[in-house]
Amino acid sequence: MAALAELVRVTAPDGVVRVQPLHDGRGRHCGHLDRLRYALGERRIASEVRRVPRGDGRTQRVLVLRTVDRRLRWSSPSTIP
C-alpha cells in the first residue's frame, strides 16, 4: 500500500500508475483488491480496474491509479497513456 502511494506521488501530474497482474501464479483473482482500493481511496488515490488488450486477442485486468485531482485521460480501454 505504501509503495503504491509512493508511486502515485512521484508520477507526473498527468500520469497514471498501472499495476498488473491482478492475480496470483495460479490465475486466481487478487482476494484483497477491494480492501486495497478502499484504503487507497482514503489516501485520495483514485483507482479503476480496466481491461486492456494483451496482444494475443485476449484482455487482462490492470489496476490504474491516480491522485483524486487528476482526470483519467483516455476514451477507451484500449488506450492507456
Question: For residue 80, is it within any domain?
Answer: no
Total domains present in the chain? 1
Convert the pLDDT of each residue in 10-69 to its tens digit: 999 889 999 998 988 888 888 899 999 999 999 999 999 999 998 899 998 999 999 987
Give pLDDT, residue 25: 83
Confirm whether 33 is domain-assigned. yes
Domain assignment present for residue 59? The answer is yes
Q: 72 in a domain, yes or no?
A: no
How high is the pLDDT of residue 16?
95
77 has a pLDDT exceeding 60: no
Q: CA–CA distance from 46 to each of 27, 53, 58, 67, 76 (Å)?
A: 25, 22, 26, 6, 18
Predicted local distance difference test score (pLDDT) of residue 24: 83
- Check if the beta carbon of residue 51 is closer than 8 Å to that of residue 57: no
Q: Please report the pLDDT score of residue 76 as a whole number.
A: 45
| Residues of the domain holding 8 | 2-67
Q: For residue 81, is it within any domain?
A: no
> Is residue 75 a part of any domain in this protein?
no
User: Is residue 57 situated within a structural domain?
Assistant: yes
